């Protein structure tokens, strides 16, 4: 039997395209992609994506081990499952991306850029996901996009909920997020070009981007730090309820402002050691560009993903405010 990750790291060659165990069948429609169909009836279709940023390796290792166990008939499967390793070429080169950050290309944003590996792969993954969910339209659809962050964080594990223009967030999902050990959840305030917004908006999925720790190269991950997500995924796909975690209450934030790198002169007034979710008070000059300085306008605001090194026109960070549970249960109309 093949090893999913070892083979995918080597090349795009798919040695075996389909197979069966005693309880499920699987097929590989593209490199780094595998779908599982349980023989028994189910009403859930789940997508787990990893490696949308090629250097975020811990989720890739965890999910690939799960794939190997399923193929070997060692795991119970009670849902339809699609597993995706996103940016294969960047993963092979240990990079976040080669030409364009792939998590800025979904919902057809790839059309705004010249053709490159990432634009083509984003289109391919959109089509694969739509096909997968489309084959089971009455099922409940779930998508978790697993990442690790560049910087250290005040909250080690957290989730980002895509903006919803109608309806409300799935409370079973929120419960699951808490039980795998997330400390915080960030609610997006607007549509985005991320994979999780695409699945939520176009495929009617309850979805979430998960940030599970700090990004490290293959071989440098302390996989002990990822036991919550590992167990959570096993329970999710085998239809087991996740035991409640003893961790404290989920901290809620909402995006107050997207910091966009407006020019090469744009500069965040933060050093590289500042952690995600660090608080700043009103008046602190957060960034400057060729024309202006930007002082924080809220009494207190929290910084997430600050990054001076993105390309002009791309997100250089998020500014957050605290939110309340009511904003998750019934988001504003």
Q: Is 141 annotated for ligand binding?
A: no
Which residues lie closer than 8 Å to 318 by C-beta, 6 or more apart? 186, 255, 257, 258, 259, 303, 304, 305
Has 183 been annotated as catalytic? no
216 near ligand LFNQLBSZ, rule: CB under 6 A = no
Q: Among residues 118, 183, 211, 327, which one is catalytic?
A: 211
Is position 143 an interface residue for ligand LFNQLBSZ (rule: CB under 6 A)?
Answer: no
Q: How far is the CB of 109 from ligand LFNQLBSZ (least distance, A)?
A: 12
3-state secondary structure of 62: helix
Q: CB nearer to Zn ion: give 75 or 261.
A: 261
- The residues that bridge with 205 in the sheet, in sequence order, are 141
- Residue numbers at the binding site for Zn ion (CB under 5 A): 53, 56, 147
Which own/partner contact pairs does 11-19 have at CB distance under 8 Å and 24+ positions apart? 12/88, 19/71
Q: What is the DSSP letter of 153?
A: B
Q: Does residue 160 interact with ligand LFNQLBSZ by CB under 6 A?
A: yes
Q: Residue 10: which residues within 8 A CB-CB, separation 6 or more?
A: none
Least distance in angstroms from the C-beta of 95 to Zn ion: 12
Q: Which is nearer to ligand LFNQLBSZ, 132 or 305 (CB)?
A: 305
Q: Does residue number 53 form part of the binding site for ligand LFNQLBSZ (CB under 6 A)?
A: yes
Question: How many CB atoms sit inside 10 A of residue 21's CB?
Answer: 17
Closest CA to 164 of 49, 254, 260, 45: 254
User: What is the nearest approach in angstroms of ligand LFNQLBSZ to the Cβ of residue 78?
Assistant: 27
Q: Give yes or no for residue 88 binding ligand LFNQLBSZ (CB under 6 A).
A: no
Q: Which residues are catalytic?
A: 211
Per the annotation, where are the binding residues for Zn(2+)? 53, 56, 147
């Amino acid at each position: 039997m093949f090893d999913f990750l070892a083979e995918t790291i080597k090349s795009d060659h798919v040695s075996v395209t389909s197979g069966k165990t005693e309880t499920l069948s699987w097929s590989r429609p593209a490199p780094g992609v595998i779908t599982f169909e349980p023989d028994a009836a189910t009403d859930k279709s789940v997508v787990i994506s990893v490696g949308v940023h090629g250097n975020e390796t811990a989720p890739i290792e965890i999910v690939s081990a799960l794939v190997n166990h399923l193929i070997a008939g060692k795991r119970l499967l009670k849902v339809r499952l699609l597993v995706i390793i996103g940016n294969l070429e960047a993963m092979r080169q240990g990079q976040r991306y080669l030409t364009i950050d792939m998590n800025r290309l979904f919902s057809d944003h790839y059309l705004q850029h010249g053709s490159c590996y990432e634009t083509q792969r984003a289109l391919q993954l959109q089509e694969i996901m739509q096909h997968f969910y489309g084959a089971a339209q009455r099922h409940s659809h779930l998508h978790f996009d697993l990442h690790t962050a560049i910087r250290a964080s005040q909250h080690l594990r957290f989730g980002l909920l895509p903006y919803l223009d109608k309806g409300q967030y799935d409370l079973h999902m929120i419960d699951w997020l808490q039980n795998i050990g997330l400390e915080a959840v960030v609610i997006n305030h607007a549509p985005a070009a991320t994979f999780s917004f695409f699945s939520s908006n176009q495929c009617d999925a309850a979805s979430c981007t998960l940030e599970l720790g700090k990004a490290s190269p293959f071989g440098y991950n302390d996989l002990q730090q990822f036991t919550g997500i590992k167990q959570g995924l096993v329970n999710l796909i085998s239809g087991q309820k996740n035991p409640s975690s003893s961790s404290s209450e989920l901290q809620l934030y909402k995006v107050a402002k997207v910091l966009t790198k407006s020019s090469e002169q744009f500069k965040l007034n933060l050093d590289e050691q500042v952690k995600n979710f660090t608080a700043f008070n009103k008046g602190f000059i957060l960034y400057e560009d060729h024309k202006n300085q930007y002082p924080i306008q809220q009494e207190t605001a929290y910084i997430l993903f600050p990054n001076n090194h993105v390309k002009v026109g791309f997100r250089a960070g998020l500014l957050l405010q605290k939110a309340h549970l009511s904003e998750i249960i019934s988001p504003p109309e």
